[in-house]
Amino acid sequence: MFINETLLDELVSHFKMIRSKYDNFFATLEEFYLNDEDELLFIDEILIRAYFYSKKKGQVKNFDKFLENFIDPRLRNIKDELITYLQEIFGITYISNEAWDIKINLDDKAKLSETLSRKKSENVKAENDAEMMLAIYYLRKKNNESAKSGIFGYNTWWLSKDTVTYRALIKCFGGEQYPVSCYIRPDFIYNYIALKPSTEEVNKAYNEMFPTMLGVNLSYHMPADVARIVQEKIKEFHDKPPVRVKQILRVLSDQLKSDPKMRTKHKVELYLDKELKKLQTY
C-alpha cells in the first residue's frame, strides 16, 4: 500500500483539526464526558472519542500523551513523523507526486472537481478527490494493467469506503471511459486477509488431498458427495471457452473489491448463473 502527497496533506490537516478541536472545546469538558459514557457516542471525531475511552480505562493521562502514540503532540515535523508512522506500523509507503510521475488531464480534473464540489462540503476536498481518482486510472493505464489476463483484476486501487465520488465520475464522463471503480473497500481487504490461508496450510491440504499424481483416484480420497459435485461441475464447464471463464472471474473479482452489494453468496451466484447462461448461448 502507498500514500501520496494529496492524501498525506489531508491526514496532516486532520490531525491539526483534531488538536484545535480538542483544545478549543473538549479540554474544558473532560469531566462531563468521562462521567457519562453515553455522552461519548456524541463525539463525532473518532480520535478524540478514542482518547476519552483510553483515559476512562486509565491507559493515558492526558491528550498529549494520547497523541504521542502517533506524532509529536506539538505537531512539529508532523508530515515526516506520519510518513515514518505509516511505514513502521502499517507498512504503507510514502511516494511523492514527482516519484509517481502522474500526468493527469487538467481539464478532466477541473470538470470532475466541479461535479464533486456539489457533493463535497469543501472545494479543496473535491479537488483532491478528483486528482486521486484520475491518478488511479492513469496508473492503471501506465502500468498496462488491462493487458494482464489474470482473474484477480486490476492491481491499483484507492482504499476507501466512498461511493459518492465514483457516481460523480460516471455522471461527469459516462460509464464507457471508466467502467470499473477506482475504489477497493477496506472490508474486502479485511476479509481477504482473514480468510486467506497461509502457504503452510495450502501445502498441507494439497499433500493430504493429492498424495500421488494430481487427479488420480480423486473420488477415492474425497467424500462421495463432494466427488459427485466436482464431477457435475467438470461436466458442466468442460466445453466452455477457458478465456471466457477467466474474463468472467476477473470482472467478478473487481466487483467484489469495490461494490458492497456483491459481497453476498446470493449475489455472486446470481452473477455467475447469468454469465454462464450467456456462455451456453454461444
Express each pLDDT in 87-123 by its tens digit: 998 888 998 877 877 888 889 888 888 888 876 666 7
Q: Is 73 contained in some domain?
A: yes
Residues 12 and 90 in one domain: yes
Of 51, 66, 94, at which residue does a domain stop?
94
Is residue 202 domain-resident?
no
The verdict on residue 205 lying in a domain is no
Q: How many angstroms separate the CA atoms of 204 and 139, rounded?
A: 38
C-alpha torsion sign, points 173, 177, 183, 188: positive
The number of distinct structural domains making up the chain is: 3
> How many residues are given for the chain?
282
Q: Tell me: the pLDDT tens digits for 118-156?
A: 766 667 788 888 888 888 888 888 888 877 656 678 888
Cell of 210: 493429492
Cα radius of gyration (the chain): 25
Q: Which residues span the domain enclosing 167?
A: 102-184
Give the distance from CA 198 to its chain's centroid: 21
User: Which of 38, 65, 94 is a domain's end point?
Assistant: 94
Query: Does residue 63 sit within a domain?
Result: yes
- The predicted model scores a pTM of 0.59
